[in-house]
């Protein structure tokens, strides 16, 4: 009898809704895992999202890449809406989170995907042929290695990676959010690792000075703009999660806050200065350079507010998806500002393929176990999950 009660208890536990008031489909139309239409797949923990350009036909839609932390995989949704695994189908990745794509990484049209594995304490590289290689971290948690080979260095729960190809040397440079070390680290084209932000102690001090002397508090997502003004400059944007801020490292290596006042109270209304607004545990940030205005536009996954926020070129913040004060799943086919999200942890933005004037946004709506898309018309749609 005790064994029977135990089994019944376990069965009941399996059917506890993952979010209050939300019914999750676990059978019927949805199937677990990859293969088939992306909208028919049941994702477990979509954490981050990136785009893989169509190198053969640049004017056609890109593929959508995303990480699924619980499945330990990277998925790819092609232009037809089909979902296939990119990595992790054989040997699983250990809690993959942030990812970044470098196009024409090898000079022959091939691409590299870089992914931060949180509990793997490493950053992995996947080539267009499917080979996987560790480029930073040993797999053991800790902190050491600055000034040496990144493959021999210790990371501690890296959450995100941002990569770009150096136009002068052709090599690839990485920036890594070393989450539990409260640092951002850089791997240069020769594979040497260094710290570019954070002292290793949790805190919020240092704005206006060198980023290496500033404090971070569990940084998550990163965005890097490289050479957008044609002078080889690098700008790094950090989702400084537990400081409830977005911070920027400029060309000179100095750090400032560009969004969030450090208060995680109720979400601030749209139309106010970004540095005066409240964010709550922002997990990710995307940056887009507007060539016509010579300004940078930011997109923020304001995770615990269940919102996606936009900061325009003059520093004014707007909510572009989600309803302040509400969490859930509604609104597909409607204006994104009428839809509900649930703990979005990933966001990416890109100019649409038909022109250079309007931006499309992709969201890893983690709590709802899906990937969603905001078109240039402002309508939100489901693309996976």
Q: How confident is the model at residue 33 (pLDDT cuts 50, 70, 90)?
A: low
Mean local confidence (pLDDT), 288-293:
88
Q: What integer pLDDT is reported at residue 60 of this predicted model?
A: 57
Closest-CA residue to 366 (of 79, 34, 70): 70
Q: What integer pLDDT is reported at residue 9 of this predicted model?
A: 39
pLDDT in tens, 190-243: 999 999 999 999 999 999 999 999 999 999 999 999 988 888 889 999 999 999
On the question of pLDDT at 354 being above 80, the answer is no
Q: What integer pLDDT is reported at residue 106 of this predicted model?
A: 75
Q: Which residue has the higher pLDDT, 302 or 2?
A: 302
Check: CATH 1.10.3470.10 for 26-384? no
130: left (phi over 0), alpha (psi -120 to 50) or beta: left
Confirm whether pTM is higher than 0.85.
yes
- Rounded Cα distance between 282 and 11, Å, is 35
Q: What integer pLDDT is reported at residue 28 of this predicted model?
A: 30
Domain ranges of the chain: 26-384
Q: What integer pLDDT is reported at residue 1 of this predicted model?
A: 42
On the question of pLDDT at 75 being above 50, the answer is yes
214: left (phi over 0), alpha (psi -120 to 50) or beta: beta
Mean local confidence (pLDDT), 301-326:
98
Q: What percent of the chain has pLDDT over 90?
A: 76
Q: Do 274 and 260 form a contact (C-beta atoms < 8 A)?
A: yes
Mean local confidence (pLDDT), 25-29:
29
On the question of pLDDT at 357 being above 70, the answer is no
Q: What integer pLDDT is reported at residue 30 of this predicted model?
A: 62
On the question of pLDDT at 340 being above 60, the answer is yes
pLDDT in tens, 111-164: 999 999 999 999 999 998 889 999 999 999 999 999 999 999 999 999 999 999
């Amino acid at each position: 009898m005790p064994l029977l009660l135990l089994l019944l208890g376990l069965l009941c536990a399996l059917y506890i809704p993952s979010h209050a008031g939300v019914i999750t489909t676990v059978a019927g139309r949805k199937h677990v895992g990859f293969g088939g239409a992306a909208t028919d797949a049941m994702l477990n923990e979509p954490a981050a999202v990136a785009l893989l350009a169509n190198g053969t036909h640049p004017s056609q839609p890109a593929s959508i890449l995303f990480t699924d932390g619980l499945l330990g995989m990277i998925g790819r949704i092609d232009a037809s809406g089909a979902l296939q695994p990119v990595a992790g189908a054989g040997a699983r990745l250990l809690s993959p989170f942030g990812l970044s794509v470098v196009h024409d990484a090898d000079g022959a049209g091939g691409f590299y995907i870089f992914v931060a594995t949180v509990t793997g304490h490493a950053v992995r590289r996947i080539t267009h042929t499917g080979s996987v290689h560790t480029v930073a971290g040993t797999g053991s948690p800790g902190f050491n290695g600055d000034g040496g080979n990144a493959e021999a260095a210790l990371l501690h729960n890296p959450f995100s990676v941002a990569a770009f190809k150096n136009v002068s040397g052709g090599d690839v440079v990485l920036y890594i959010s070393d989450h539990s070390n409260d640092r951002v680290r850089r791997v240069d084209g020769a594979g040497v690792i260094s710290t570019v932000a954070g002292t290793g102690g949790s805190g919020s001090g240092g704005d206006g000075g060198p980023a290496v002397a500033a404090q971070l508090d569990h940084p998550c997502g990163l965005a890097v703009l490289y050479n957008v003004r044609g002078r080889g400059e690098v700008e790094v944007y950090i989702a400084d999660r537990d400081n409830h801020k977005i911070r920027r490292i400029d060309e000179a290596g100095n750090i400032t806050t560009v969004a969030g006042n450090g208060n995680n109270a109720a979400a601030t209304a749209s139309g106010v200065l970004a540095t005066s607004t409240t964010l709550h545990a922002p997990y990710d940030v995307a940056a887009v350079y507007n060539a016509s205005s010579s300004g940078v536009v930011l997109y923020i996954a304001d995770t615990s507010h269940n919102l996606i926020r936009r900061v325009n070129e003059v520093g004014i913040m707007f909510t572009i998806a989600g309803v302040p004060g509400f969490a859930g799943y509604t609104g597909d086919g409607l204006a994104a500002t009428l839809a509900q999200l649930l703990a979005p942890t990933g966001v990416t933005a890109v100019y649409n393929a038909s022109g250079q004037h309007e931006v499309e946004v992709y969201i890893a709506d983690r709590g709802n176990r899906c990937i969603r898309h905001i078109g240039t018309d402002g309508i939100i749609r489901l693309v996976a999950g």
